[in-house]
Amino acid sequence: GGSAMAAVPNVEIDPEGTFKYILVRLQRPGGGEQRDIVRGTKAAEFHNHIFEKLNPEMEKLGYECKCLGGGKIEHNSKDKKIRVFGLSTGYGKADHSVTVDILRKEYTDYEITWSDDKK
């Protein structure tokens, strides 16, 4: 039921630095529940590396994954600021405003902004 989806964190991003991120839609095959999650890490050289790691994990839980786009995240934990920007060449630009909404739920005391800037 809902518990498996609730067990999947909305956000998993590196605690510091600038790195690639993707916005991913999880859904149950045949419709029903769906939600969007944010994943980003410096370990990923390309956006598809993040997706290729996430996808099998989510399939095991019974979800279909669709990448809605990507970009970059600049995470400054000292100043409690997150900036979302850029795009993914492979997946296109995520809707950064959606990403920011998801981030704000997790990082409630942060200043979180986004732009379409490349850098």
Please indicate if the annotation marks 20 as binding a ligand: yes
* Best CA proximity match to 74, nearest among 30, 48, 110, 106: 110
Burial class (CB in 10 A: 0-12, 13-18, 19+), 52: exposed
Say whether 47 is catalytic: yes
Options 47, 49, 75, 96, the catalytic residue: 47
Active site residues: 47
Binding site per annotation, positions for substrate? 20
Binding site per annotation, positions? 20
